[in-house]
Amino acid sequence: MSRSIALLICLVGGLTMLVSPFLPMATGWANDVTDWFNILAAMAFVLGGGSLLKVQLMRLSSRGPGWGYSAVTLVAFIVTLWVGLGKVGVVADPSAPAVAWSGKADDEGSAFWWIYLYVMTPITSTLFAVLAFYVASAAFRAFRAKNLEATLLLATAFVILLGRTFAGVVLTGWMPDWASGLRLENLAVTIMDVFNTAGNRAIIIGIALGVASTGIRLMLGLDRSYLGGDA
């Protein structure tokens, strides 16, 4: 029974979204369905938090490999949650200076703002920046001109790497106007404009067709994998 209800909700929701662009009267219905989706998306944050707690606590209690990381994750999660929900250190809003909690949780000066600025920002920026080192190491070890395709890929990479910097101008800026298309910075644009765009559009159209067929299968109940189990 519960599966039938889920399938019905899927069918009604999918059909509503499908017909709304063609029927003006259905625009409001589509917005309602989207509202349900947004409410579910907000609830997913709560579920995600619960799932994170459960998984990390299990790993911690079993003392499995890397349990120390789980402890750090749990402490970070709980402290951030407490600081955010409890509005720790929040400066009162000027419109209600007598009410200590009237400010926003992430206003400048609050504990949440401090965590964001001095913990989260440096950590995420560092993780992203570290990629440069891994890319350099991987390029040295793995990028080989073993065959024609790999050689073409290498040549393209060189044109893009040089064309997207001032090196392109220095190396090929001397070329006369009639051969300007061969300047590295222009070659890089041509590669993006022609080869990259053609390949990507083909992929995008392929994905769109796949999404459409999957959508129809979901609405008709032919694909029930999202229900979990052996449905």
Query: Residue 133 interacts with another protein (CB under 8 A)?
Result: yes
Cα 53 vs. chain centroid, distance in angstroms?
Answer: 22
The DSSP symbol for 104 reads -
51 binds another protein (CB under 8 A): no
Query: Would you say 62 or 196 has its CB closer to another protein?
Result: 196
Q: Closest CB to another protein among 34 and 73?
A: 34
Cα pseudo-dihedral 137, 139, 145, 150, rounded to 10: 140
**Among 6-14, 84-92, 193-201, 216-224, the segment contacting another protein (CB under 8 A):** 193-201
In 3D, which of 38, 37, 14, 36 has the Cα closest to residue 26? 14
Note whether 223 binds another protein by CB under 8 A.
Answer: no
Alpha helices, DSSP H, located in 101-183? 111-115, 121-142, 148-163, 166-172
The torsion region of residue 107 among left (phi > 0), alpha (psi -120 to 50) and beta comes to beta
In the list 8, 19, 38, 100, the residue contacting another protein (rule: CB under 8 A) is: 38
**Distance from chain centroid for Cα 33:** 23
Binding region for another protein (CB under 8 A) = 21, 27, 30-31, 34-35, 37-38, 41-42, 45, 93, 104, 106, 116, 120-121, 124-125, 127-129, 132-133, 135-137, 139-141, 143-145, 154, 157-158, 161-162, 164-167, 169, 185, 189, 192-193, 196-197, 200-201, 204
